[in-house]
């Protein structure tokens, strides 16, 4: 059995810890004290395991997972980073990273202000050959129930990506690929379209409108990604279409719930407060809007989501999109 460290005790970090902990030892680091009672709650759950517990039973499976300090977690050879992109740079600046460790980034978004992608931020703190990116449709709550899913691990280093792939339990099928920028853009952009999907459903515009939105959203995502060298297969695969259709159509998606709440005329601040977890799509929308303006990329859906976040009437924005 190998030892894998997970940095980040939110819903996704704890779900990954649960998955890896079925066949391996998991050390998990989190700013909050993790408790067993919330370990298998809904996707809103922060989750986890008491620091004094080395093995817990969950959904009839023995899971080896222990909460430790950040310093101890970063002693491992294999490290999974599940930190919100909004706080990723700050976290990396303060973390005692080891250059020889191998890192799997399990966060989806684009840094607001700089427009930096996850691997670009990471490369400032570690060798690029040590970096892998996790992507694909995977709700934390379903992973915690051991429901089947498929993910993709992208890296310029196939050997390290394959090593991480071997840690996943049988109910998760990992694919090893090498389109880092495409996977990052797909994972970030789908959160923006998911907000629009929530708005569409919140307004009760029906299935026809929703299908048109998702189809055009996929095209927009691919157009943006192709500008930066992403591969079309990535956007048509798990990382793009798969994650988009999941996140833009389910109330388990935080970004979908943001859009749904806005369509119900709830203030954005209240929606984000009620979520209890970060909705990456809010800041990613602003980052994509700025990047698109700087590079003259046509992104009508992202532009309208930006306008909605800034207070424009939801129905006016969606109908404007449908008339294009």
Binding-site residue positions for NADPH: 12, 31-32, 108, 140, 254, 278, 280
Determine the angle formed by the axes of helices 254-263 and 314-322, rounding to 10 degrees: 110
Q: How far is CA 323 from CA 10, 84, 312, 318, 319, in A?
A: 39, 35, 17, 9, 6
Q: Which residues contact 234 (CB under 8 A, 6 or more apart)?
A: 177, 179, 182, 183, 186, 225, 240
- Point out which residues pair with 176 in neighbouring strands: 153
Catalytic: which of 102, 177, 190, 283?
190
The two tokens of residue 314 are 């939801």
Q: Which residues are annotated as a binding site for substrate?
A: 108, 254-255
CB atoms inside a 10 Å sphere around CB 149: 20
Which segments are annotated as binding site? 8-13, 31-32, 87, 108, 136, 138, 140, 190, 243, 253-255, 278, 280
Q: Which residues contact 8 (CB under 8 A, 6 or more apart)?
A: 29, 30, 81, 82, 83, 84, 106, 107
Q: Which residues are annotated as a binding site for NAD(+)?
A: 8-13, 87, 140, 254
How far is 274 from 268, CA to CA, in rounded Å?
10
Q: What angle, 0 to 180 degrees and rounded to 10, lies between the N-to-C axes of helices 85-94 and 280-295?
A: 90
210 labelled catalytic:
no
Contacts of residue 265, defined as CB under 8 A and 6 or more positions apart, other chains included, come to: none
| Tokens encoding 118 | 């996850």
Please report, in range form, the residues annotated as the binding site for sn-glycerol 3-phosphate. 108, 136, 138, 190, 243, 253-255
For residue 301, how many C-alpha atoms fall within 13 Å in the half-sphere facing its CB? 31
Give the residue numbers marked as catalytic.
190
């Amino acid at each position: 059995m190998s030892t894998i460290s997970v940095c980040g005790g939110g819903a996704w970090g704890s779900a990954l810890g649960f998955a890896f902990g079925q066949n391996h030892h998991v050390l998990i680091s989190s700013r909050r004290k993790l408790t067993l009672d919330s370990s298998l709650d809904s996707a809103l759950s922060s989750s986890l395991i008491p620091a004094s517990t080395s093995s817990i039973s969950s959904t009839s499976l023995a899971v080896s997972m222990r909460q430790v300090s950040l310093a101890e977690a970063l002693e491992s050879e294999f490290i999974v980073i599940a930190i919100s992109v909004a706080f990723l740079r700050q976290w990396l600046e303060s973390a005692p990273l080891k250059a020889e460790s191998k890192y799997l980034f399990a966060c989806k978004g684009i840094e607001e202000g700089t427009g930096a992608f996850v691997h670009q931020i990471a490369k400032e703190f570690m060798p690029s050959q040590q970096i892998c990116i996790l992507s694909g449709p995977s709700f934390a709550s379903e992973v915690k129930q051991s429901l089947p899913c498929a993910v993709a691990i992208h890296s310029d280093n196939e050997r390290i990506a394959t090593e991480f792939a071997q840690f996943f339990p049988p109910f998760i099928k990992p694919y090893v690929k090498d389109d880092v920028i495409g996977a990052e853009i797909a994972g970030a952009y789908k959160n923006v379209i998911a907000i629009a999907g929530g708005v569409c459903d919140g307004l009760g515009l029906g299935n026809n409108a929703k299908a048109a939105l998702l189809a055009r959203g996929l095209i927009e995502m691919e157009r943006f990604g192709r500008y930066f060298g992403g591969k079309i297969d990535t956007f048509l695969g798990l990382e793009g279409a798969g994650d988009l259709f999941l996140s833009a159509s389910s109330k388990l998606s935080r970004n979908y719930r943001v859009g749904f709440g806005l369509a119900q005329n709830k203030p954005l601040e209240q929606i984000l407060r009620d979520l209890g977890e970060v909705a990456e799509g809010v800041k990613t929308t602003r980052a994509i809007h700025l990047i698109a303006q700087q590079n003259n990329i046509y992104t009508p859906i992202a532009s309208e989501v930006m306008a909605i976040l800034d207070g424009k009437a939801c129905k006016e924005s969606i109908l404007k999109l449908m008339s294009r």
